[in-house]
Amino acid sequence: MNPIFGAGPSLTLRMLFATVISVITIVTDIHTDGSKQIRSYLNTLVSPIQYVANLPQVAFESFAKYAATKQSLLEENQQLRQLQLLQNEKLQRFDMLSAENDKLRALLTTNLRGETQKKVAEIMSVASHPFSQHVVIDKGSSNDVFEGQPVLDDLGVVGQVVSVGNTTSRVILLTDQTHAVPIRVLRNDIRGILSGTGNINKMELHNLPHGTDVQVGDKLITSGLGEVFPDGYPVAEIIEISPDVTKPFMKVVAKPVAQVSRLKHVLLLWHEANQHEGKGE
């Protein structure tokens, strides 16, 4: 069978021919300017292909740079959020400490009468029973606290100590329904007994006959009777008077001036009448 294509030049001959052509092309390129123009045309034709071929790499690098920048921004944003939270927490603590400092200053500058010693105590716990108005403070017999000791805040009477431990004490608030304070009306010195009702916002002034000269807005202060609270400390303000003639006495309701529902610190009071008794315990 005869082959379709006849046999061509030998491999050696073809190699020799290619070598000669290459040498001629190189020499021509070196010694003539026409080849430069040909290369310029070829580069112009090939450049779009090179640009298209390079697009995936450029796109990948751009995406990688975008992803890195986005991740960096996310991390920076998270750090800024954490820093903001920390700063806000510090700011909140600053506001709290500032308010607490103002309270302590007000306590220490309370106009006490006849006392020889005073000491700030912190509230440790509050009685959870709805009918029991007691708090526990962080001062006890080791601090010369004694039973019956008057307790104030920066506005007025809070209550009195009813039991004393070595490092803590229990204070009954003046709004407890078992507690009563001898008072007098600041405006005209009418005396009475102000009792707690179990409601932190209401106390009742008992046994005032009809026609007694008391008015809504009258300030009630300690009378000094009973030898527990010294005379002249603010206790409450009259907010309601019900002159029911079917009953033998008027119903007089007062609101404590002390912030008994928001106590954080209180002031323990020693005065000359019980200074030595407190130290004796």
Extract the tokens encoding 232.
């002249």
Last residue of a domain, one of 109, 139, 172: 109
Q: Which of 169, 158, 178 is nearest to 125 (CA)?
A: 169
- Residues sharing a CB contact under 8 Å with residue 91, sequence separation 6 or more, in sequence order: none
Last residue of a domain, one of 92, 109, 126: 109
- Residues sharing a CB contact under 8 Å with residue 250, sequence separation 6 or more, in sequence order: 208, 209, 210, 212, 214, 241, 242, 243, 244
Interatomic CA distance for residues 197 and 251, integer angstroms: 13
Same domain, 162 and 203: yes
**CB contact at 8 A, 268 and 145:** yes
pLDDT, tens digit, for every residue of 236-272?
999 999 887 788 889 999 999 998 888 888 889 887 6
pLDDT, tens digit, for every residue of 152-173?
888 889 999 999 999 999 999 9
Same domain, 171 and 219: yes
Cα distances (angstroms) measured from residue 244 to each of 20, 207, 211, 252, 254 = 136, 13, 11, 11, 17
227 domain-assigned: yes
pLDDT confidence of residue 105: 72
**CB contact at 8 A, 233 and 156:** yes
Strand-strand pairing, 150-152 and 265-271: antiparallel
Compute the residue count for the chain: 281
Q: How far is CA 63 from the centre of its chain?
A: 43
Number of domains observed in the structure of the chain: 2
pLDDT confidence of residue 259: 86
Same domain, 105 and 121: no
pLDDT confidence of residue 115: 46
pTM of the model: 0.61
pLDDT confidence of residue 35: 63
Interatomic CA distance for residues 161 and 146, integer angstroms: 7
Extract the tokens encoding 123.
């509230």
Last residue of a domain, one of 82, 109, 136: 109
Domain extent, residue 268, equals 115-280
Same domain, 145 and 206: yes
Same domain, 131 and 254: yes
User: What residue type is assigned to position 19 of the chain?
Assistant: T
2 domain-assigned: no
- Chunk the chain into consecutive blocks of 10 residues (it has 281) and report each block's average pLDDT, rounded to whole numbers: 57 80 74 65 68 73 75 80 65 63 70 65 80 88 92 90 93 93 91 92 91 92 87 92 84 92 86 52 39
3 domain-assigned: no
